[in-house]
Amino acid sequence: MASLHTSSPIDGRSYAGKSIWLSPFVEYNFTQIKSRHLTGNRANDALTHIGADAAPRTFNSKVVWVGPDERLLLSGELDAAHEHYARDATSGLIAIAMKGASVRRLVENETSAVDFTPGFASRLRFADLAVIIIVRATDDLLCLVERSAATWLFDWLENRAKLLDL
């Protein structure tokens, strides 16, 4: 019998404008880590175990700071001792790559909450959705959105890029 295979709602989607390109990004697996402000914060133990954390509103090669009590681990693994506050979020999050000289204009048109310094990362309100924006370079952003809204958001980005003639 055939095995099951994966699929994404934005498989095969891409947009090439004059100075902006949109496409799916599949290089990361995501592990969500939640923590509580308890004595001996065990989530911090997990991050210590990995050997990395990220300062507020930043990301590095391993960790994305999403909120005071939440991190996203990029493609890392946690052992069973830390599974109480970690779960595989890969299926639930879809990453859209936004590249090009006009990426900043597209994003700034909608929100002023993004700092385009490479290394910035934050959850924020964008196109009426809660998304996580990661600034890999000034002209290279990732937008992480819940799976169910990925098609809509991709359509929205493409529509907005066309409207602004990007």
Write out the residues near other proteins by the rule CB under 8 A: 1-9, 32, 34-36, 38, 43, 84-85, 87-93, 108-112, 127-129, 146-149, 151-153, 155-156, 159-160, 162-165
Question: Whose Cβ is closer to other proteins: residue 61's or residue 107's?
Answer: 107
- CB proximity list for 46: less than 8 A, separation 6 or greater: 33, 78, 82, 85, 86
Nearer to other proteins, 61 or 165 (CB): 165
Report the C-alpha gap between 94 and 28 in whole angstroms: 10
Between CA 62 and CA 165 the distance in angstroms is 35
Q: Compute the least distance from the CB of residue 153 to other proteins, in Å.
A: 7
Query: Pick from 48, 39, 53, 37: which is nearest to 79 by CA?
Result: 48
Give the nearer residue to other proteins in terms of CB position, either 75 or 159: 159
Residue 7: alpha-carbon gap to chain centroid: 18
Shortest distance in whole angstroms from residue 28 CB to other proteins: 13
Whole-angstrom CA distances from 106 to 66, 112, 118, 132 are 22, 11, 17, 16
Hey, what amino acid is at 154? Answer: F
User: Could you tell me the smallest distance in angstroms from the CB atom of residue 119 to other proteins?
Assistant: 21
> Least distance to other proteins from the beta carbon of 53, Å?
17
- C-beta of 97 vs 153, nearer to other proteins: 153
